[in-house]
Amino acid sequence: MPKPAPSTAKIRKFIKQKPDKWLLLKQFMRTGERTKGIGKKTISDFAQLGFDFKEAQNARRKKPYNALLSEREKAEIKRQMRAALMIVKPEIPAGNEKKEALRHLVGRTALVQRRHFFSTLENNRAEDAFDAGRMYLDALDKGNKKKAKRRKLNVEEIAGIQNDNLILRKGWLKKKYTSTVPIHEAAHFLLGKSESKAHIIDYYYALKSGKMSLERLGRTNIGELRPFAEEAISLFELGKRQGWRIADAELRKRLGIGKKR
């Protein structure tokens, strides 16, 4: 019988030495819910082994994970970040100040890497690191998404904000519906955690830029997000009738952006 790869052997050793911790870790990996029985160090130690295993597996298959953004992705990110600033922060003066704001957003955007998981785990709650870890594993192994569906686990993340970094999962630009995640995450970065604001800006931009048609958005199954899509549609139709500057201003008014408290 062939000897297991070093990374596999280390995982088996960890499970054998810490069976109780392993049961709790499995629960965390499936749901993102951490119990008092496992601390950050245990999660970090096992994540190191898990990532090493998947990375070694990819190396053996000659399919290493490439975390570099393509030129097309870079151009699209810059386009969407510029749009986010125009819609959400029109008060930023044109010139160097606006260029610096754009450079800041673009510079903080990257494809997910293992460092995102560990930096988030170190500086935040373990639960906050869960999405970054899952995104990285999905990037390493496309089969993870199929396994998740079979096990009826939570839907995988396509993007997120970790420690003021906007991280994207590989392949975000391939589908129409996920191709606007940069502006969605930029809305969170600029406005906070509100999902309603981020979704409305996301759908509004998708329609305004032609990335999604009214017909396509209408037939896309988005469930409880439908009210945000309807809000975006009304703003889009306003823009077609009266101009995008008026529609942008109405969006800020409806979402309470720029209101003095």
pLDDT digits (tens, 9 = 90+) for 54-92: 898 888 888 888 899 999 999 999 999 999 999 999 999
Nearest to 229 by CA among 187, 198, 186: 198
Q: Are 180 and 204 in contact (CB under 8 A)?
A: no
180 pLDDT tier (thresholds 50, 70, 90)? very high
Torsion of the alpha carbons at 186, 189, 190 and 195, rounded to the nearest 10: 80
In a domain, 220, yes or no: yes
Question: What are phi and psi for residue 26, nearest 5 degrees?
Answer: -60, -40
Q: Are 245 and 238 in contact (CB under 8 A)?
A: no
Same domain, 122 and 28: yes
Nearest to 23 by CA among 8, 9, 34, 10: 34
Greater pLDDT, 81 or 140:
81
Q: Into how many domains does the chain fold?
A: 2
Torsion of the alpha carbons at 148, 153, 158 and 161, rounded to the nearest 10: -140
146 pLDDT tier (thresholds 50, 70, 90)? low
Q: Model-level pTM?
A: 0.84
Name residue 241's amino acid.
R
140 pLDDT tier (thresholds 50, 70, 90)? confident
In a domain, 103, yes or no: yes
In a domain, 194, yes or no: yes
1 pLDDT tier (thresholds 50, 70, 90)? very low
Which domain, by its residues, includes 209? 71-108+176-255
Same domain, 98 and 118: no
Same domain, 46 and 81: no
Residues 6+ apart with CB under 8 A from 47: 117, 118, 121, 133
